[in-house]
Amino acid sequence: MELANIEKLLEKYENAETSIAEENELKNYFLSNNVPEHLQEYQALFGYFSTSKQERYTKTIQLKSQKWNWKLLSVAASVILLVSIYGGHYKVQQNRAEKAYNESQLAFGMLSANLNKGTVAITQLQEFEIAKNKALKQSKK
Amino acid sequence: MKQTEFLKTVMPFKDKVFRLAKRLLVSTEEAEDATQELFFKLWKNKGKLSNYKSVEAFAMTMTKNYCFDRLKSKQASNLSLVHSNYQEKGTSLDRRVELNDSVSKVHELIENLPEQQKLIIQLRDVEQYEFDEIAKMLNIKPTAVRVTLSRARKTIKEQLLKQHNYGVS
């Protein structure tokens, strides 16, 4: 394109009167290599615009928010809390029951020991009874 | 609206949203976060999308508003961080070297423009939207778009010429 034409377009460009098509014309002109010395700064300008447009958003867009995860996390935390409270309570009750069991075991042990003493005495008594009966039988004869 | 259908309408302009966010927020990470957040918002409001003539224009408006909000809150929190601001200016020697490249000079010039001019330069000169579209996105008159754009283009040109002349003389 003619230089005079380009300079006219540049003036229009500055006044923001160019159309998109005309701006593309300017862009194409300045991206080509033969740009005269006094218009060099425009080359930087239009070059910058076209490189800027090439920048991309490279990450993937997540539609599930992290706020939702917080909600889920709090639900999980409360479940864990409930379970641990229940578990703790259960454990305490178990300990209590074990203690009671041990104590009653001890009591039964004592009881049976004493009872055994009693039965020993009774067998001795029985022995005595048998001997007495024998003696009585013989004296009857 | 199903997820696949939503993605089909939304995917074509995801890069535009990202580039606009980056233009306004400057940092790539923040622009990525903003893009993610914006698409999530769109997805949550998917029922309302059919009310808009152009989902793309609506998304660009949302992006603009979101970024301006972010910038406001950032400015508010930056006030207490005077020291780190000072450091920012001093350190970046390699950035200055990088700016010798004339294309990066353009980047810096645009960065220093007022927000509205920056926005319109991005929408017109990079994304090549029509004036009417930009006017609708920003909720201003098309003539106001032209005036602002012209001002921005003139500023950039003058600054570039100034730097060019420094190099020559």
pLDDT at B162: 85
Please answer yes or no on whether B153 and A62 come within 8 Å at the CB atom. Answer: no
Give the pLDDT of chain A (141 residues) as one tens digit per residue. 688 899 999 999 999 999 999 999 999 999 887 888 888 888 889 989 998 999 999 888 888 755 667 888 899 999 999 999 999 999 999 999 999 999 999 999 999 999 998 888 888 889 889 999 999 888 877
> Choosing among B102, B156, B163, which should be mutated to test the A contact, i.e. which has the most A CBs within 10 A?
B102
**pLDDT tens digits for range B72-111:** 887 767 655 444 444 444 345 554 454 457 778 899 999 9
Q: Are residues A96 and A127 in the same domain?
A: yes
Residue of A nearest to B124 (CA): A20
Q: Are residues A137 and A101 in the same domain?
A: yes
* Mean pLDDT of the B141-167 span: 89
- Interface check for A4 against chain B (CB to CB < 8 A): the answer is no
CB A82 within 8 A of CB A50: no
CA distances from A29 to A1, A46, A129 (A): 7, 9, 137
Task: Determine the structural domain holding residue A31 and report its residue range.
Answer: 3-52
Q: Are residues A70 and A43 in the same domain?
A: no
Residue A124 domain-assigned? yes
Please answer yes or no on whether A63 and B43 come within 8 Å at the CB atom. Answer: yes
**Between residues B82 and B116, which one has the greater pLDDT?**
B116
Torsion of CA A25, A46, B155, B69, to 10 degrees: 110
Residues of each domain in chain B carrying CATH 1.10.10.10: 92-169
Q: Which helix H or strand E contains A74, and what residues bound it? A: helix A66-140
pLDDT at A101: 95
Q: Are residues A48 and A106 in the same domain?
A: no
Q: Report chain B residues whose CB lies below 8 A from the CB of A15.
A: 150
Within the 54-73 window of chain A, which residues sit less than 8 Å (CB to CB) from chain B? 55-57, 59, 61-63, 65
Question: Which candidate, B99, B164, B105, places its Cα nearest to that of A37?
Answer: B164
pLDDT at B100: 52
Of the three residues A13, A30, A52, the one that is the final residue of a domain is A52
Residues 6+ apart with CB under 8 A from A19: none
Residue A57 domain-assigned? no
Residues 6+ apart with CB under 8 A from A59: B32, B35, B36
State whether CATH 2.60.120.20 applies to domain B1-91: no
pLDDT at B89: 42
Residue A102 domain-assigned? yes
pLDDT(B41) > 50: yes
Q: Are residues A80 and A135 in the same domain?
A: yes
Residues of each domain in chain B carrying CATH 1.10.1740.10: 1-91
Domain count, chain A: 2
CATH architecture of B92-169: Orthogonal Bundle (1.10)
Q: Are residues A70 and A45 in the same domain?
A: no
Tokens standing for A88?
């703790």
Q: Are residues A70 and A135 in the same domain?
A: yes
Interface pTM, i.e. ipTM: 0.80
Q: Are residues A96 and A135 in the same domain?
A: yes
Residue A59 domain-assigned? no
Residues 6+ apart with CB under 8 A from A105: none
pLDDT at A60: 85
Q: Report chain B residues whose CB lies below 8 A from the CB of A45.
A: 106, 156-157, 160
Rg over CA atoms, chain A: 53
Q: Are residues A29 and A79 in the same domain?
A: no
Looking up tokens 């508003």 gives B65
Among the partner-chain residues A13, A16, A20, the one whose CB lies closest to the CB of B128 is A20
pLDDT at B168: 58
Q: Are residues A74 and A48 in the same domain?
A: no
Residue A58 domain-assigned? no
Question: Which candidate, B16, B25, B26, places its Cα nearest to that of B61?
Answer: B16
Q: Are residues A41 and A71 in the same domain?
A: no
